[in-house]
Amino acid sequence: MAEQGKYDEAISRYREALRIRADYADAHYNLGNALSKVGKVQEAIEHHKAALRITPHDVKIRSKLGILLAGQRNYLV
């Protein structure tokens, strides 16, 4: 879905996946990516943080979270 630019549908599906399994790191990561594409950056950051809590050594999650945080003016707060 997200690969095709259907972000709203992708967001809905990732949310459903997380409703079923809240500890699904990939769903948090993918939801965060889709949310960032529709301008919901703060919520995207929260999902990337959740994914990182589940898989703390995942480099792709750390990298994406860093990119999102760097785009925020108050990321040090």
For the chain, the structural domain boundaries read 2-70
Specify the pLDDT at position 22: 97
- Tell whether the model's pLDDT for residue 77 goes beyond 50: no
Residue 19 tokens, joined: 């409703």
Specify the pLDDT at position 49: 97
Q: Which residue has the tokens 């990298």?
A: 63
- Whether 60 and 33 have beta carbons less than 8 Å apart is answered as no
Single pTM value for the model: 0.86
- Whether 47 and 16 have beta carbons less than 8 Å apart is answered as no
pLDDT tens for residues 43-64?
999 999 999 999 999 999 999 9
The C-alpha atoms of residue 4 and residue 62 are separated, in whole angstroms, by 24
The C-alpha atoms of residue 76 and residue 58 are separated, in whole angstroms, by 22
Q: Which CATH architecture has domain 2-70?
A: Alpha Horseshoe (1.25)
- Whether 30 and 46 have beta carbons less than 8 Å apart is answered as no
